[in-house]
Copies of this chain bind each other. A is one copy, B any other.
């Protein structure tokens, strides 16, 4: 799922590229100079799917940056001398001096990922390697290094296409197809799973990963440039002893149509269900869920489900349809509103730990711990450092639930802005619904784009194989309810299988 956010078909036209490139280059060079003065060492990790063109990216960076301030090291084959030293030695040899940028083509990630994908490392060994990496990065960051980690992603089909094209070109290797590409392509899915785990495990606030969609070369390179520029500027600004007025901080990341494509755009909001089919389906799903929930209770299989979504997207209605399928002894709904005094006096996850169900029971969270990376982020209620850190905290929390055998369901109720407007208007005009629409709802609506960006990042960073997000197409309420119930039924069936 994490990589789905990088399979959206983002593109930049030749014309757009030519318009934006000169400015980007100028700014990159300027920033690089400031970086040298500030004495910040930068480690730029270039990794990702074979065939995505990592080599081309490195070449592009050589073209864009002042080469006197960068060193590039490729870590693929190992010398005798490197083998004779502890693994980390080869990386220490190439660490950048303060003020310089070291581009690592391949890195400390490559070894563990490849070995795990080919089954040469056990899962436990792999996790330990990831821990070692995390502590190495933490150590370097504590010493002042900026570590930028870029992951270049290509959909499976696109990778095959490139290999095919390469083959046709009569043995000539293009830059994005190496001898490894074919060997690794056979294990595309293993690589995807292992890489996702590595990225999630080491995606910390201080050393964050950025996944870059690489199907379109122009988009790939431009995104790379702007991401680097943005990260360097942020760091330089935070270094500045006297905070400057905010306008001077902003990087004008150009408003690329491409960059605004998000994973939500993939949800098909046009589908509809007939009222009759709906009644039939609903009834059948509810009775199956009821039976399953009792079986789960007997076998002590616990379930936690959370509902997030746009205002008026139908969270409440969906939750009620689930409740009706369940015996009141078995479930509890926890409404998450502004925290109480007591909750505020604890870590933000404390209130969610409190609400966890006993064995065999079900808790439905109406809004959840994801508030931190949505409303708290967008409304500025949590510092950036804090909400960025929380992706990892949330993943660790959910991992503990899944490890304990709890079935975790996460729903994002999605609607179009047009449908939201229609519902808002309708609520205003219906006396018994008027209380449901407040000034705040209208204010939130104005921040649609900001929320959209937050949701996209949230889904990309927290949709894991054990606890994936279900994106629910909500423009048709009935269809949404059926989708939610079906997800419950399938999850229970799987847990009880």
Contact = CB atoms under 8 A, between A and B. Distances in A.
A87 to B, nearest CB: 7
Quickly give the copy total for this chain: 2
A465 B37 CA distance: 44
A92 interface: yes
A396 B136 CA distance: 9
Nearest to A140: B347
A85 B404 contact: yes
A414 to B, nearest CB: 30
Contacts of A337: none
A95 B348 CA distance: 12
Given A87-B400, A356-B89, A358-B81, A347 B143 contact: yes
B347 A139 contact: yes
A95 B346 contact: yes
Given A393-B139, A404-B85, A95 B350 contact: yes
A41 B84 CA distance: 48
B142 A400 contact: no
Interface string A74-87: 00000001001111
A89 B352 CA distance: 10
A367 interface: no
A124 B135 contact: no
B389 A142 contact: yes
Interface stretch (A9-17, A63-71, A125-133): A125-133
A89 B353 contact: yes
A350 B92 contact: yes
A98 interface: yes
Nearest to A349: B92
Contacts of A88: 353, 400
Given A97-B345, A347-B143, A353-B93, A85 B358 contact: yes
A401 interface: yes
Interface in A34-67: 39, 41
A81 B359 CA distance: 8
A356 B41 CA distance: 23
B359 A84 contact: yes
A418 interface: no
A354 interface: yes
Contacts of A89: 353, 356
A404 B86 contact: yes
Interface string A83-122: 0111111001101011100000000000000000000000
A396 B404 CA distance: 31
A356 B393 contact: no
Nearest to A100: B345
A403 interface: yes
Nearest to A393: B139
Contacts of A406: 86
Contacts of A98: 345-346
A170 interface: no
A346 to B, nearest CB: 6
Nearest to A144: B347
A466 B67 CA distance: 44
Interface string A342-366: 1001111110011010110000000
A127 B129 CA distance: 11
B86 A403 contact: yes
A313 to B, nearest CB: 30
B400 A95 contact: no
Contacts of A349: 92
A167 B141 CA distance: 55
A396 B88 CA distance: 11
A216 B224 CA distance: 63
Contact of A124 (B85, B128, B354): B128
Given A87-B400, A97-B346, 19 more contacts: A81-B358, A84-B358, A86-B356, A86-B404, A92-B349, A92-B350, A92-B353, A95-B346, A97-B342, A97-B345, A98-B346, A124-B124, A127-B128, A127-B131, A128-B128, A135-B396, A139-B393, A139-B396, A140-B347
Interface of A: 39, 41, 81, 84-89, 92-93, 95, 97-99, 124-125, 127-128, 131-132, 135, 139-140, 142-143, 145, 300, 302, 342, 345-350, 353-354, 356, 358-359, 386, 389, 393, 396, 400-401, 403-404, 406
17 contacts: A85-B358, A86-B404, A87-B404, A89-B356, A92-B349, A93-B354, A95-B346, A95-B350, A97-B342, A98-B345, A128-B131, A131-B131, A135-B396, A139-B347, A139-B393, A139-B396, A142-B389
Q: Which 7 A-B pairs have the closest CB atoms?
A: A92-B353, A84-B359, A97-B345, A86-B404, A86-B400, A124-B124, A98-B345
